[in-house]
Amino acid sequence: MEPRQLFGFTPPNPEIGQPGYLAAHLVEAPEGTHVRFTVRPHAQENAAPVELALPWTEAAKLALSIIDKALKAASGEDPLLQFFAFAHLPEHLQAISAPFGAQAARIVVTLPRNPERTVALRKLLEAKNYTIHAAIWKG
């Protein structure tokens, strides 16, 4: 089976030599499923990409750690980011909540502060909360 891209991210306006592209691919192989991370430096055509392959469970933990650090780094930019923290949640809920935190951090880092950005964050927070409620629903 061909590797399937899980995500790709190009940071806005990276400096020369800084990471210009990050991707993760799901690779299914006879020895087990793993995730291959690839980082390419910005504006360095001849530089080889850095690659790292991790088993699926380790890759998920690494992704959660990266998202948590991104949220903390961007938290000074907007106080609403505090509500996207997920490290306090049980592990199965962290996996549900983390993508919302990643998107919130990306919104704060890439868009100017204005009323529409605040509404976007509030709506994203509302969607995250209802998603967690759906996951813990006792019916």
| Overall number of domains in the chain | 1
State pTM to two decimals.
0.65
Rounded to whole angstroms, the Cα distance separating 101 from 9 reads: 15
Provide the residue-wise pLDDT of the chain in tens; the chain has 139 residues: 688 887 777 766 666 666 667 777 888 887 778 888 888 776 666 677 777 788 877 877 777 787 777 778 777 888 999 999 988 999 889 888 988 988 898 888 888 999 999 999 999 999 999 999 999 999 8
| CA of residue 2 relative to chain centroid, distance | 23
User: For residue 97, what are the domain limits?
Assistant: 4-136
Q: What is the pLDDT of residue 40?
A: 75
Question: Are 9 and 28 within 8 A, CB to CB?
Answer: no
Angle at alpha carbon of residue 93, lines to 92 and 97, rounded to 5°: 135
How many CB atoms sit inside 10 A of residue 71's CB?
21
